[in-house]
Each structure stands twice: as structure tokens, then as C-alpha cells.
Structure 1
Amino acid sequence: MVQAVIFDMDGVLIDSEPYWAEAEQHVFRQLGVTLDPAITSQTSGMTTRAVTELWFKHSPWQDLTIEQTEQAVIDYVALAVLERGVVKKGVVELLQQLQSWQIPVALATNSPASLMNTVLDKLQIRSYFQALCSIELVTQGKPKPEIYHLAASKLGVASEHCLVFEDSVTGLTAAKAAGMKVVALPAEHHWHRTEYDQAESRLTCFSEIQPAHFQSWGFRQS
């Protein structure tokens, strides 16, 4: 039975993945990095530090430190969120439904707390979450399960009674390793990846959710 729900942030609550792609293009190209599409396709769901280190290994630069480069990427995304960010379709309605059922809700993201707070405030959805988990709170981000175990612990719910909404294979891997049920919301260009087969459901949008979904996922209220 589902006793708590945990949301990923980027690509789930907000369509911010294009902002991250823009940030990589802007920051790394300024540093003289030639962006390899084969590498770019691997970065979805990774921590900003891991992405930065990946590009540095591919094409080392000298102008900025790893930490400064990472922060430049985060700052670019934060500005894009403030200027253009909108909550994804169906998110608020789902949060309201869970609130009416008194289902505790957490956020677990590979993004830093500064960006997490920017997103929550921009989208005006902070009040729906009883626990917030950003990358600084764990020693290893997704695809390791630590951040999902932390979110469940903060909510006081066993991992096996948590349902997770994730868009990336990285996040899906983390949630499954934590022993949780997962509803996947893949980007269109990732929709047919076989890794998503392990999810309980695969949706294109929260607005697709029907009462039968809640029943199949294990919600008592449905």
C-alpha cells in the first residue's frame, strides 16, 4: 500500500531539462569544450558535479575550477527557471489530490538546495511538501538510492510503501534500488528505452492519471 509519494524535480515538476542543455552549451563552449552528442545524451539525471567532471575529463580547461564551472551551470539554470519556468501540466492537481488524502509528500533531487528552492518558490508549490532532499544531504546522488532512503526516513514511511515519480533512467534506477514503486515520465526521445520497463507505469503527462491508476499503484483512497 502506498503511504507516501516522492517526486523528482527536474523534468517532473518543471520542464527544466532544456535549461540544463542550454547551460551546458553556454558554459562549456565558453571554456572551449566541443560538445559531443554521445556524451550529452548521457547527462540526463546526473548531478551537476558529475556532468562537469565528465566534460572536464573529455576536454580539460584552465579558466575555471570544477567548482566554479559547476556553479556557473547552476546559476544559468536558476535564471532560466526564474524567467521561463512553469509547473508541468497536472502537477498541482496531483499534489492537491494527495494533500486531500493526507498522503505525505517529499522531493528528492540531484540538484542543489539553492536551485530546489528557486524552483519551489517559482512554481509556488512548496507548501505541498513535508520533506525536501537535495544533493548536499547525501554522500552519493542518483543512481545510488541514498537520497530516496533519506526522503522516506524524513517522512517516517518504509521505502517499500513509497511511490516515486521520475523522468530519468538515473532516477528510476535509484528509486528501484531503494525498493520503491516508480511511475516513469520519460522525455519523448527516451520513451522507448527498455530500462523504463521496470516501472509500474509509464506516462507522458500527469494529466493522464485516472482513478484506476491510483488503484493499481496501491493507494487505499482510490
Structure 2
Amino acid sequence: MFQAVIFDMDGVLIDSEPLWHQAEQQILGGLGVDFNQPPLLQSTGLTTASVIAHWYQHQPWPELTPAQVQQRIIDFVASGVASEGNAKTGLPALLEAIAAQQLKIAVATNSPKLLLDTTLQRLNITHYFNARCHIELVKQGKPAPDIYLLAAEKLGVAPQHCLVFEDSSAGVTAAKAAGMTVVAIPAAHEWHHSKFDIADHKIRCFTEFDYQHWLQASAKE
């Protein structure tokens, strides 16, 4: 069934979501954005550009352009990842198991190339990935399916033969729209949220994933 496994990055490969939150609070908050004012935004899984565009539209600030604000947020997160980023629990063992089954591996992220490269280098896992797809390679980020379709194309694998790991509703929506099988890894406070019901499977962390069953079964087919 499966010929490839595709990983989201933020919140899946690495626990970087707190860094994104800190960056938005510090940089956008410093520009006067009040995150408690409507329309509120659940930013997890969205592109940085779309988050900034949302707040700029409803609470515009002077001087800095949205592009300049975006770069400051990206630099903040990249610095944090480079200095203190850690792989999600169970990730190294899962990557090794997938590689042992000779399945192709890709990463598909709404983050830019700088953050993708920084993350893979920090975790020392670049060598596992046959394809690396970032937001700068597609016209639309998640929840559009573009980046997952691109990953499948780069791997040379049909979407229906791809297994995806995602932590956000936007990412799950994107992967399902691409016709892929999705394992959701929601944050603890979102575990029971209905927005993850469209996922094919749900786990709390990689150590809960029965990779021997899933990957060996796919190798037999």
C-alpha cells in the first residue's frame, strides 16, 4: 500500500510550535497587535505570510512592511531551532525503520527553505529525505494540497501510496485533499477536537505508532 512516507515539519519533526508562538507574540505584539481582539486566528499549520496578512488587515501597523515582519519572525524561529531544537519523541527510530523498509521519505512544510534546512541540520536527519518541499516551491500553502502533491511528484510515487504525519488541521486537510493516508499527531490540548476526525489514524506521539504493522504490511503488498 505505502511506497513513501511524508512528514510535516513544525510540530512533527521538531517541537517548534512554541517558538512560533513566542515569535508572533514578541514581534507582532511589539507592533501593537492585540491577539484577543476578533477576528481571532488559530495559526498552527498556516503559512507565516497568511498569519501576518490576517493581523495586518485587521490591526495594521506603521513602518514595517508585512514582508519585513515575516523575515523577523522567521529569523527568530530559525535562531531558536538552531540553538535548542530537539527531535520529537520516537522520530529517530521511526525514520530508521522506514529507511530499513526501503520506502521513500519526504518532508512537506509551510515553512521557508531557511527553516527547513536549519531544522534538518540541527536534528542531523537530512540524509533520510529523498525530497524536501517548502512553501517557496508552491503557489498555495496548506490547507491547499499543493505541497503534498509536489512531494509525491518529487518522490515519483502516486498520492494514494503516500502515508503522511501531520499535527495541524490545515495539514491534515491538505494531505487528505491530495488523496493520501494521514496519521494525525494533535497537540495534547487539541486531542479531542473534531477537526482531526478526517484523519485515518491518530496518535499522541511516534512511540504510539505501530510502524512494524503499518510498514511491514505495506512491504508485503
Instruction: Give the TM-score range, shorter chain.
Output: over 0.9
Whether contact under 8 Å (2:104, 2:155) holds in the other structure is yes
Distance 1:91 1:81, change over 3 A: same
Q: Does 1:205 align with 2:210?
A: no
2:69 aligned residue: 69
- Aligned amino acid, residue 22 of structure 1: Q
2:219 aligned residue: 220
* Structure 2 residue matching 1:70: 3-state secondary structure: helix
Distance 1:41 1:158, change over 3 A: same
Q: CA deviation at 1:213?
A: 4.6
Q: CA deviation at 1:41?
A: 5.0
* Cα distance in 2, alignment partners of residues 137 and 39 from structure 1: 29
| 1:25-66: CA deviation from partner (whole Å, max 9, x where unpaired) | 110111111122766651110000001101111210012101
- Aligned amino acid, residue 85 of structure 2: G
Distance 1:37 1:161, change over 3 A: farther
Whether contact under 8 Å (1:133, 1:150) holds in the other structure is yes
In structure 1, stretches of 5+ residues that fail to align are none
Whether contact under 8 Å (2:101, 2:219) holds in the other structure is no
2:161 aligned residue: 161
Runs of 4+ with >4 A deviation: 37-41
User: For this pair of structures, how many residues does the alignment match?
Assistant: 221
TM alignment of 1:166-205, pairs within 5 A = 166-205=166-205
Whether contact under 8 Å (1:186, 1:203) holds in the other structure is yes
Whether contact under 8 Å (1:101, 1:221) holds in the other structure is no
Whether contact under 8 Å (1:31, 1:63) holds in the other structure is no
* Cα distance in 1, alignment partners of residues 49 and 214 from structure 2: 36
- Aligned amino acid, residue 176 of structure 1: K
Q: Does 1:151 align with 2:154?
A: no
Distance 1:4 1:57, change over 3 A: same
Identity of aligned residues (%): 51
Q: CA deviation at 1:70?
A: 0.5
* Cα distance in 2, alignment partners of residues 21 and 44 from structure 1: 9
Further displaced range: 30-39 or 151-160: 30-39
